[in-house]
Structure 1
Amino acid sequence: MADLQDDLHTTPEAGELDDLPVPFPAGVLTPGSCPPVLDPDDGPLERAHALLAAHPVADGYSGLPWALRQLPWYDLELGESAVATDVPRLREGHVAALFWSLHLPEGSDGDGERAVAATLEQLDLVKTVVRAHPEGLRLAEDAGQTADARNCGRTAVLLGPAGAAALGDSLGVLRCLRVLGVRVLTLTGVSWAGEAGLTRFGEEVVREMNRLGVIADLSGASPQTLRRTFAVSKAPALCTRSAARALRPHPANLPDDLLVELGAAGGLCMVPLTAEQTGPTVRDVADHLDHVRTVAGPESVALSGTYDTASAHPLELGDASCYPRLIAELLRRGWDESDVALLTWGNVQRVLRTADFTARAFQERRQPSTATIAELDG
C-alpha cells in the first residue's frame, strides 16, 4: 500500500476549477421565514452576501426527502411553507449544494430487508423530486458536477448519507447503492460498526467504500469506530451532524481529542444548525465553528443545516435562507474571507475530490470485494 499512499498525497487542491462567482439572489422565528436583522449595522451582512455569491454553501445534511413524503402536494420552485427548504430560500441563503439524507426515521431500520427497500424508495423519491424541479435543482455525484450545477444557477443535490443498515451484510448492496448515486454512508446501527469499533468485516466495508468513492459519515458512531475508520480509510471521513462537545455535551458532538484526530485525518466536522447540539442563538453556532476551526483546523470545519429533520433551530437560523446571518456573525468575529470560503464551499469540494481520487487509485489495485460477514467475523 506504500505506492497507493504516495499517490494519495498528491490530491489536487480544492477550488481550482470552481472559483467563478455565481450570484444567488439575496433577499420572534416563524416557520418558513428568516427573521429580521437584529443588528443595525448591515455592513457584515452585505459582505456575507457578497462572499457567499462567490463561495456559496455546501450544506451537509437535509431531511427534506422524508419531510416531503408526508406532504400530499408541494412545489419547491414556487415555494413551500410546510418545509424549511425550497428553491427560493436556497437561493436567498446562497446554498449551491445540498446532501439529501436517505436515513430512515428512528427505530424503523431494524429489519435489514426493509431498510434496503426503504432506502431505495427514498432514492426514487429524491430523483423524482429533482426531475420535477429542473429550474432549481440538479442531481450531482462529484465535485465537478456540483460546480457545474452551481455555475448554471441550480442547487446540486447529492445523495446521502444513507444508513449502513441498508447494506445488511452485503458488499454487493453497497456497490448497487453507489451505482444509484449514493455518496455518503453513516457507519452506525450495524453489528460491524459498534461500541467496540469496526470488526474485520467493517474494515472491509470501509476499504470497499474507498474503492467506490463512498464517503464514511461518522456522526453518532462510537469513538472506537471513529478511530479505526481514521486508521483504515485512505479517504477523508465526514461527521455530518457533529459540533463541539467541549461547548455542549450532546452525545453526537465530538470531544477535542477526536476533533484533533479528525483534522489530522483530513476529515470534516459539519456543525449542525440545531438548538439541541449547538445552542439557541446564532452566536452559539458561531462559538462551535470557532472552536472546531481552532482545534481541528480551518480545513476540517463545514456546515450542516439539518433542516427538515424536526429539530429546533437557533434564533435567526430558522430555514435554509438564513446562512448569510451566520456568515455575517463570523465576519464580525474577524474570520478571514479565505477561511469562510473553506467553511462554506472549499472543504466539501476537497473531500469529494479526494474521495474520487482515492477511488481511482484503489480501482487500479483492488478488485471488488467478495468478503462476507460470516467469513470475516464468523
Structure 2
Amino acid sequence: MADLQDELTAPAEAGDLEAARSAPADVARPAPAGHVPADAGNAPPTPATPTPAAPTPASHTAPHDLLARHPVADGYCGLPQVLRTLPWYDLELGESAVEADLPRLRAGGTGAQLWAPHVAPDAPVTTTLEQIDLITNVVARHPEDLRLARSASDTADARAHGRIAVLIGPAPATAAADSLGTLRSLHALGLRALTLSGTSWASDDGLNRFGEEVVREMNRLGMLIDLTGASAATATRVLAVSKAPVTLTRSGARALNHHPGNAPDDLLTALGESRGLCLVPCSADRTGPALRDVADHVDHVRGLAGPESVGLSGTYDTGDAHPEDLPDVAGYPALIAELQGRGWTDADLALLTWGNAERVLRSTEFVSRAAQHRRGPSTATPEP
C-alpha cells in the first residue's frame, strides 16, 4: 500500500504547489547603503526603512504566466455533441461554430477538459458509444494538441508534453442502462465519469441497494462520481457509501442563484469535509450574467468547502449562455485576474485551476486499486 500512497501526488505537481505555498508574501529589504545604527557616535539616527506595503493585485503572477504553470482542468465541455451536428469543422485553425477550438483552448490556458457525451433518451447506450467513438477519433486527429487521458498519470503526462488532456465524461447515468456490465464496458472504452441522477436507482428518494452497488463498482473501476443535479437524499447517501471523493462537475452555489443544478450550502460543506470537488460553471443561468458573478460563486464555494475543494467548469458548447467577458474558453485569464483582485494567492489559484482536479483523479485511482484487491466485478442487478 505504501507504493500506492506515493502515487497520490506526482512529484512535479507537488513541487510546483509546494513552491507556491512556501513563497513568502514579502521579501525583507536589505539596509540601504551607508546606513549607520542609531547608537553609533553622535550621528543622528537614520530614518527606519519603511515597512513594505501589503501585496497588491499587481504583485501577483500575471494570469497568463500562472496558467502556463497551472493550467485549467475544465470540468465540463459539450464539444462532442456540437461536432456531431457539423458537416465539417477545423479545430486546429479555429472554428466559429464552437466555443472550445484549439486556438482558444491555448489562449485560455486550458490543460485538461472533460468532454461530456450527449445521450439520447430513446437510445442511451448507442448514442454514448457513438460519442465515445467520435471523441476518440477527434483526439487522434490532433496528436500535437490533444491526448486522450484514462488516468491521472495520463493527464499529468499530457501536460508535461504540452498537450491538452481529454477525459471522456461525465455521461448521464442512463448511459449505463441499469447494467453494471454495460458500465464496465463503457469504462473499458474510456468513460471516466458518470452523473448519478435521473434513474430509478438514483432518484429523489435517494439510492436504493442497486444504486449503492453502482457507487461501489464505480469506486472499484476508478470512475468519477458526479452529483450535479442529484437529489439531496442521493447526494447524502453517495457521500456515505463512496470511498473516493465525489465531484460536482458544473454546480454553482444555490445560496447565490437558485438554479436546480446548483448545490446547497450543506452539500458544499459536506463536500469539503470529504475532500470532494465542486467545479463552478461559467454559465449565465447557473452563476449569473457577469464575470464577477462567477467569481462570487467561486468565493462562496471556497468559503464553505475550502480552497482544496473548488475548481472551474466552462460548460462551453452546451447551449448555455455565458457571462460577459467569459464567452468562450479563452476567457479564463480574465477570471483569474478578477480573483487576484479579490486577494486570492497564487497557491490557492494553482489549486483552483489544476491541483484540486489532479488530486481527486489520483485519489480516485488509489481507491480503485485498493478496491480491486478486495473484490471482483459486481454481478448485482436492479431490484424489481
Partner of 2:40: none
| Amino acid in structure 2 at the alignment position of 1:133 | H
Q: Which residue of 2 is the match for residue 18 of structure 1?
A: 13
| 1:73 correspondence with 2:88 | yes
Give runs of aligned pairs for residues 346-365 of structure 1, distance below 5 A. 346-365=355-374
1:339 aligns with 2:348: yes
Contact 2:246 2:276 in 1 (8 A): yes
Matches within 5 A, 1:77-116: 77-104=92-119, 108-109=120-121, 111=122, 114-116=123-125
CA distance in 1, matches of 2:317, 2:60: 25
Tell me if the contact between 1:241 and 1:272 (Cα under 8 Å) persists in the aligned partners: yes
Contact 1:219–1:240 under 8 Å retained in 2:
yes
Shift of 1:45: 9.0
Alignment gaps of 5+ in structure 1: 22-40
> What's the counterpart of residue 159 of structure 2?
150
Does structure 1 residue 205 correspond to structure 2 residue 205? no
Instruction: Tell me which residue corresponds to 1:32.
Output: none
Contact 2:75–2:113 (8 Å) recurs in 1: yes
Decide whether the 8 Å contact of 2:80 with 2:118 is kept in 1: no
Aligned-partner Cα distance in 1 for 2:57–2:302: 25
Question: Which residue number in structure 1 is paired with residue 269 of structure 2?
Answer: 260
- Asked if 1:131 is matched to 2:140, the reply is yes
2:79 maps to a residue whose letter is L
Q: How far has the Cα of 1:103 moved from its partner?
A: 3.0
User: Residues 354 and 46 of structure 1: is their aligned pair in 2 closer, same or farther, counting only changes over 3 Å?
Assistant: closer
- Paired residues for 1:188-203 under 5 Å: 188-203=197-212
Q: Is the 8 A contact 2:61 2:346 kept in 1?
A: no
Q: Deviations over 1:139-189 (max 9, x none)?
A: 011111111111111111001001111111210011111111111001112
Structure-1 separation of matches of 2:131 and 2:365: 24
CA offsets, 1:113-137, max 9 Å, x none? Answer: x100000000000011111111211
Q: Deviations over 1:180-200 (max 9, x none)?
A: 111100111211000000000
Query: What is the distance in 2 between the residues matched to 1:164 and 1:324?
Result: 33
1:325 is matched with which residue?
A: 334
Judged with a 3 Å threshold, the aligned counterparts in structure 2 of structure 1 residues 365 and 312 are, in CA distance, closer, same or farther, namely same
**Mapped partners of 1:186, 1:274: distance in 2:** 18
State the one-letter code of the partner of 1:234: K
- Find the counterpart in structure 2 of residue 294 from structure 1: 303
| Whole-angstrom distance in 2 between the partners of 1:259 and 1:12 | 27
Instruction: Give the alignment of 1:53-72 within 5 angstroms.
Output: 53-72=68-87
Task: Give, in whole Å, the separation in 2 of the partners of 1:170 and 1:260.
Answer: 32
Distance 2:292 2:9 in 1: 28
Gaps of 5+ in 2: 17-55
Structure-2 residue corresponding to 1:308: 317
Q: Do the aligned partners of residues 224 and 317 (structure 1) sit closer, same or farther apart at CA in structure 2, a change above 3 Å counting? A: same
**Counterparts in 2 of 1:202 and 1:137: CA distance versus 1, 3 Å:** same
SS at match of 2:257: coil
Partner of 1:28: none
Cα deviation, residue 17, structure 1? 3.2
CA distance in 1, matches of 2:343, 2:224: 32
3-state DSSP class of the match of 1:190? coil
Which SS does the other structure have where 1:191 is aligned? coil
CA RMSD of aligned residues (A): 2.0
1:18 Cα deviation after fit: 3.2
Change (3 A) 1:256 1:365: same
Change in Cα spacing, 1:290 to 1:12, as seen in structure 2 (3 Å) is farther
Q: How many residues align?
A: 345
Matched, 1:48 2:57: no
Residues 188 and 255 of structure 1: is their aligned pair in 2 closer, same or farther, counting only changes over 3 Å? same
Judge conservation of contact 2:281–2:315 (CA < 8 Å) in 1: yes
Q: Which residue of 2 aligns with 1:165?
A: 174
Give the superposition deviation at 1:138: 0.9
The CA deviation string for residues 259-316 of structure 1, in whole angstroms up to 9 with x for no partner, is 1011111111110000011011111100000000000111110100000001100010
Give the TM-score of the pair, scaled to structure 1: 0.88
**What is the alpha-carbon distance in structure 1 between the residues aligned to residue 111 and residue 64 of structure 2?**
13
1:134 aligned counterpart, secondary structure:
coil
Report sequence identity in percent.
Answer: 59
Instruction: Select 2:228's aligned residue among 204, 213, 219.
Output: 219
